[in-house]
């Protein structure tokens, strides 16, 4: 069988995609594209990628089965749509786009082209997330009616003045950057209920003062910080479920914490990643606990998980390749990314207007 031929656009987090394809026995990375010639040359050399491009449209002339789109959020929609029109399947980084309008165009383009569009919701592919989903599917929790989830950092603004802190390029702050992961994971665990209404607040306290930068990226004092540095919200679903959500890049809290806690009629669970020290390195402790009632007593069960330092990123790429080979729909199609964008749009609107917003 011929190997799946992949091209990568964007050599930042895109290196995880390269590693994912290269670890798959039935896939290979034949081309890499990045606007930054230095990054392009270095990455191509490190991963022994033969063909390099600074213009992705030239790369799309190659005979590729798929493309990973790993560029800043503003470019997800136009580049993904061009890839789909060129007949390539696409694995697009999160968030799907800057907003639902752009996301809808991507989903429509995939449908029109008859190609696969998968969103890189890699947190679903973390070992503990897959184990938790296994318990959900086995009925361990009964009906899940409430969840609390978030990704909060004490000192972790990804650069200052770079693209992450620029509304025009990123589409928002930690809500669209970090919370998107845990909201998706939590909704997936809950069986993707139909979102109905939201109430949210956003704050920008430390970003404008260039505080709470942490080690993510190089600050650019000439750049802009016009996104939130914290967001909180409550979502209500058509069948009565509720999710509380929080996200921050900078806040006076103990440390970075990534979590999803679900409460069901039979049992509950908490999946957590607690970082040792904010931003010093990636050393974190991943845990999965189940909360049950046995013999009339409350019982905590600790599930033994082998942590994945790549946080499921390689496994997600493997899944994408497997789906292309088997001709099946991925577990995180573009439509799931679009559902999340509609919620985030409504949350930003709610924060701006100071009232509850119906999610459409």
Ligand X SMILES: NC(=O)c1ccc[n+]([C@@H]2O[C@H](COP(=O)([O-])OP(=O)(O)OC[C@H]3O[C@@H](n4cnc5c(N)ncnc54)[C@H](O)[C@@H]3O)[C@@H](O)[C@H]2O)c1
Interface residues toward ligand X, by CB under 6 A: 9-13, 33-36, 39, 56, 70-73, 75, 93-94, 120, 122, 177, 313
Q: Which residue is nearest to ligand X (CB)?
A: 12
Q: Which is nearer to ligand X, 75 or 206 (CB)?
A: 75
Minimum Å distance from CB 178 to ligand X?
9
Q: Which is nearer to ligand X, 18 or 132 (CB)?
A: 18
| Residue 119 to residues 96, 102, 279, Cα–Cα distance (Å) | 7, 14, 26
Q: Which is nearer to ligand X, 35 or 205 (CB)?
A: 35
Is residue 166 classed as helix, strand or coil in its secondary structure?
coil
DSSP H or E stretch at residue 133: helix 127-137
Residue of 246, 227, 225 whose CA lies nearest to 152? 246
Minimum Å distance from CB 358 to ligand X?
27
304: its two tokens: 């033994």
Q: Which is nearer to ligand X, 94 or 135 (CB)?
A: 94
Q: Which is nearer to ligand X, 4 or 33 (CB)?
A: 33
208: its two tokens: 């404008």
How far is C-alpha 27 from the chain's CA centre?
23
Minimum Å distance from CB 182 to ligand X?
12
Is residue 188 classed as helix, strand or coil in its secondary structure?
helix
Contact criterion met (CB below 8 Å) for 132 and 189: yes
Minimum Å distance from CB 277 to ligand X?
20
Q: Which is nearer to ligand X, 121 or 237 (CB)?
A: 121
> What percent helix, strand, coil does the chain show, rounded to 5?
35, 30, 35
Minimum Å distance from CB 122 to ligand X?
5
Contact criterion met (CB below 8 Å) for 126 and 186: no
Minimum Å distance from CB 110 to ligand X?
18
Q: Can you tell me the distance from the alpha carbon of 315 to that of 125, in angstroms, rounded to the nearest whole number?
A: 6
Residue of 60, 4, 62, 12 whose CA lies nearest to 34? 12
Q: Is the peptide bond before 177 cis (omega within 30 degrees of 0)?
A: no
Q: Can you tell me the distance from the alpha carbon of 226 to that of 301, in angstroms, rounded to the nearest whole number?
A: 43
Minimum Å distance from CB 60 to ligand X?
11
Q: Can you tell me the distance from the alpha carbon of 117 to that of 108, in angstroms, rounded to the nearest whole number?
A: 10
Minimum Å distance from CB 142 to ligand X?
31
How far is C-alpha 239 from the chain's CA centre?
25
Q: Which is nearer to ligand X, 21 or 75 (CB)?
A: 75
Q: Which is nearer to ligand X, 80 or 261 (CB)?
A: 80
């Amino acid at each position: 069988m011929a190997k799946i031929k992949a091209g990568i656009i964007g050599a930042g987090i895109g290196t995880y995609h390269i590693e994912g394809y290269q670890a798959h026995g039935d896939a290979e990375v034949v081309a890499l594209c990045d606007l930054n010639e230095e990054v392009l040359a270095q990455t191509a050399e490190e991963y022994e990628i033969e063909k390099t491009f600074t213009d992705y449209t030239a790369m799309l002339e190659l005979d590729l089965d798929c493309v990973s789109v790993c560029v800043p959020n503003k470019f997800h929609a136009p580049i993904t749509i061009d890839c789909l029109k060129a007949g390539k399947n696409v694995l697009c980084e999160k968030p799907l786009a800057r907003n639902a309008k752009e996301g809808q165009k991507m989903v429509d383009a995939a449908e029109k082209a008859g190609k696969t569009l998968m969103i890189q919701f890699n947190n679903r592919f973390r070992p503990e997330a897959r184990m938790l989903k296994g318990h959900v599917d086995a009925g361990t929790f009964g009906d899940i009616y409430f969840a609390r989830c978030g990704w909060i950092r004490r000192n972790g603004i990804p650069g200052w003045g770079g693209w992450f802190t620029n509304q025009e390029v990123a589409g928002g702050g930690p809500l669209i950057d970090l919370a998107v992961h845990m909201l998706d994971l939590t909704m997936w665990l809950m069986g993707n209920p139909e979102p109905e209404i939201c109430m949210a607040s956003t704050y920008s306290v430390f970003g404008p003062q260039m505080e709470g930068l942490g080690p993510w990226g190089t600050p650019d004092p000439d750049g802009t910080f016009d996104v939130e540095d914290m967001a909180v919200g409550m979502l209500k679903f058509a069948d009565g479920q509720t999710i509380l959500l929080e996200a921050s890049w900078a806040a006076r809290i103990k440390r970075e914490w990534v979590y999803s806690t679900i409460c069901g009629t039979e049992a509950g669970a908490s999946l957590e990643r607690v970082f040792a020290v904010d931003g010093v390195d990636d050393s974190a402790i991943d845990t999965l606990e189940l909360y049950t009632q046995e013999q009339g007593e409350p019982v905590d069960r600790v599930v033994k998980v082998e942590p994945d330092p790549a946080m499921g990123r390689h496994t997600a790429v493997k899944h994408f390749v497997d789906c292309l080979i088997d001709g099946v729909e991925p577990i995180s199609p573009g439509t799931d990314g679009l559902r999340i964008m509609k919620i985030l749009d409504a949350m930003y609107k709610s924060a701006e207007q100071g009232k509850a917003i119906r999610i459409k």
